[in-house]
Structure 1
Amino acid sequence: MARSLDGLVLSPVADQAPGQVGTRTRFTYHERDGRIWAEYEGGDIVHGHLVGTRDADTLDFRYVQLKQDGTTSSGHCVSAVTELPDGRVRLDETWEWESLRGSGTSVVEELTG
């Protein structure tokens, strides 16, 4: 199992669709006893939260966010946690909107420094 996400800051490696999470978005993760949660913001996202569980190297969570244009949206995501050769954490994500149409994949990685 990859190391704990508690206290880590991660960011997407590529921009998603306009108005969504992008490379300027920062996720601050917390983890305790199989529970995970995070706050995120940046780019088009004013404020976001995610909450869910971790089972070994799989995260399963719901997210909700407020965008710059004042709209809100929510969805579900399952992520595979891996450790990169340099020791940083990577999440390979499969997500689906629950409040909007659409689904996709994304990659977020731990920031250094």
Structure 2
Amino acid sequence: MFRYDGKTFVPQSNSSNGEVSVGTVFQYRQDGNILTGTYQGGSIVSGVLVGTVNENGTLHFRYHHVSKDGSMRSGSCNSTPNQLDNGKIQLFEKWKWMDGDQSDGESVIVEQ
């Protein structure tokens, strides 16, 4: 089973309508099947997420953040894990904004 508690992730790629960038860092915590996290960096001043971890390690969560321009954004995300040869976790994410244009996108983040 994939465990996320205490893990740090950084972006590898993101859709053009996303706000996560190279400077963004995610800190995850896990208690049972509950996932929480914080993220910041790049154009994001402060962000939080909360969700669940399924038995196969997939994540389902909602996220909220404040950007450097003062705007607040929120969305939902489903992440599928992949174990890399070096033992690190890579997450393939499908997300959707819950505000603004409600567009969706895809991103990849990897454990640091």
- The TM tier, using the shorter chain, reads over 0.9
- Within 5 Å, which residues of 2 pair with 1:11-50? 11-17=10-16, 20-50=19-49
Q: Secondary structure at the match of 2:75?
A: strand
Q: Secondary structure at the match of 1:79?
A: strand
RMSD, aligned α-carbons: 1.4
- What is the match of residue 75 of structure 2? 75
Q: How far apart are 1:82 and its partner, in Å? A: 1.9
TM-score by length of 1: 0.92
Please give the alpha-carbon distance, in whole angstroms, between the structure 1 residues aligned to 2:46 and 2:92.
Answer: 22
State the match for 1:62 in structure 2: 62
User: Percent of counterpart pairs with the same letter?
Assistant: 36
2:94 is aligned to 94
TM-score, normalised on structure 2?
0.92
Match of 1:105 in 2: 106
Unaligned runs of 5+ in 1: none
* Structure 1 residues 77 and 15: CA distance shift in structure 2, 3 A: closer
Deviates more, 1:46-55 or 1:81-90: 81-90
Q: CA deviation at 1:83?
A: 1.1
Letter in 2 for 1:93: E
CA shift for structure 1 position 19: 7.2
Structure 2: gaps (5+ residues): none
CA pair 107-19 structure 1, distance change in 2 beyond 3 A? closer
Q: State the alpha-carbon separation in 1 of the partners of residues 15 and 40 from structure 2.
A: 14
C-alpha distance 104-27 of structure 1, shift in aligned 2 (>3 A): same
